A and B are shown apart, each in its own frame.
Chain A
Amino acid sequence: MGLIDFLKSNGSKPNIEQFKTRQTDAFVDSILLELKSVSAQAVKQAIEDRETKYMKSVLEESYFLLDSLVISPKDREVAKKFEEFLSTHESVDTEFRKKFFQQIIQREYRSSRGSSVRVPIDFEATVQLGTDSLESLTSEEGFQIALKGRRISFEVVASLSGPFKREITSSRFGKAISTPSTTENQAFSQTDISTRSHSKNTRSETMVEIQVNDALGNRKELLKLPALIGRDPTPFSNQFGLSSFKVSSTYVSRCQLVILEIMGQVYYYLPDNASLSCMRDDDLILEKLKLYPLKHKVATSLRTGIASEITNQINFQGSHADYASIQLFLQDASPENHEDTPRPKAVA
């Protein structure tokens, strides 16, 4: 090799290293678009099968929910590669399967008739091997594919539930409503959807019975939650839409106690602006912004007028006009506690 040839050969070699696409990545690239398309087609088919039963007016104010999406590889080769791909990645990231299928599934699908299909946030498609998934391509099929370019490698079947009433946006109507269904006689599936817990929570209206002994004597009232108790709770309760109870005693904060329900459990706590604390009947002094659960059907007694820094037991020297006593008793209208319909009896 001469000097010129040597320089030529060195100059023509670019200083870039070319990475080869790995086999699995190439496989995923090839199937991703196909899976998206076949899944959308399956959902479209499911929605078209269902929507014919309903009036347009019903479809316009409701939505269907994607219940399941079953993906079946159509031959042995694809099944093997797909399973290998999923298991390889799952060994590194346990959440991989979920993440992968989230790329395939759209958040919402629509039909030309106005129906919409929503996909639950935690939805996960299922890969299911069928009898086709175990069969290899015949030479004839291979020949046809060679002529046509490629064939669809997956079969996808979608199933829906609903229709469910669409939520009314809270900004416009002030209240959000969701309507999951449970009855089977209406061809609705019994899918447990996230909206159910919301509807269940809004169903029960929890009431707290408050009994106060203060300068005005002994009084009892039922308060709807959330509620604020204190010497002058009205400005805050009006501002934040709480029900209120006024306590008339010397040593009580303007906003002494907040009672509220979180995830079905009722709590009470001292708000940040409470200058005084309360002592519970078990001598516990309440701390600011700490949630204390209110037990069902168990009365909780509190005495007002405790300085926040006191941690040891104290004896109350004054009367209820100075240190009010507050008793909280939880009542709720849950299904287990509602009053049953009695059987009418003849009046003598």
Chain B
Amino acid sequence: MSLRCVYACALNVNGNSKKGFDAFSANLNLNIFTLCDGANSCSGSGMAAEWLSQVMTTDEPQHLSDQLMARHLEMCQKFPETGSTLLRVKASNQELELASIGDSFLWLFHKSWRGFAPWKCVETMPRDIDENGHPTQLVGSEVCQTIHVREHRPEGLYCAVMMSDGPGLKTTEEALKKCLSMLGRNEPSDADLAYLCNSLAIDAQNSGCTDDTSVAMIWLKFN
């Protein structure tokens, strides 16, 4: 089985240099992609998110939840006053694994019938939020207990869309489908995906998103 992978990210699209609490990392050798959104009420959250996104793109023999817990404890030491969400996509010939913790958004779309069918949302990862919409758990915070993990069969065309909570709250599944409809059966370039990510980010801002705005897309083709 072969796997083709294209990705892009529009990171911290808000034109404000003070902002920058989101971080994206990609490990192309292992096909692991992470998007982290640091809690913007705490100073140093941007750095913490950057660190977390990088360390979570490494593959470790232990189970993902054990890996995360080890990183959580390490983050509590390194960045004691912060916290960060984590979205992670890992693609291999065996499976497509999605993981999330916190209030960020992660959707998985599938294009069945050898890519002839339209894009269909096959997974929306759960978000950890309270009645005020605030995150109930974050990596590196006092509460970090459960990582949500979903696995999908490695077949056909997939596109994972990751967003920080700001743009995610302003984006609908229909808008994502409309955006993805521009991607046909052919492999897009990273410039195509960058354009789509940026368009979604700007659309979210035009809809009133004033939070940190980051959008990432990972296009995957399993043959």
Contacts and interface: CB of A to CB of B under 8 A. Distances in A.
Interface string A278-321: 00000000000000000000000000000000000000000000
Contacts of A345: 141-143
Given A335-B19, A344-B143, A187 B203 contact: no
Interface string B1-16: 0000000111111111
Interface residues of A, number: 38
B182 A58 contact: yes
- Majority-rule SS of B interface residues: loop
Contact of A55 (B39, B134, B182): B182
B9 to A, nearest CB: 7
Given A55-B188, A183-B198, A335-B16, A61 B142 contact: no
A204 B208 contact: yes
Interface-central residue, A54, A179, A333, by most chain B CB under 10 Å: A179
B194 interface: yes
B108 interface: no
A181 B202 contact: yes
Interface stretch (A18-26, A33-41, A73-81, A195-203): A195-203
A342 B206 contact: no
B21 to A, nearest CB: 8
Nearest to B182: A57
Given A186-B194, A203-B205, A203-B210, A344 B10 contact: no
Contact of B189 (A54, A183, A200, A344): A54
A88 interface: no
Given A341-B39, A346-B143, A186 B195 contact: yes
A337 to B, nearest CB: 8
30 contacts: A53-B191, A54-B192, A55-B192, A58-B192, A178-B206, A179-B202, A180-B202, A181-B202, A182-B14, A183-B13, A183-B198, A185-B9, A185-B194, A186-B191, A188-B194, A199-B205, A203-B205, A203-B208, A204-B208, A333-B208, A334-B210, A335-B14, A341-B39, A341-B211, A343-B81, A343-B138, A344-B135, A344-B141, A344-B142, A346-B143
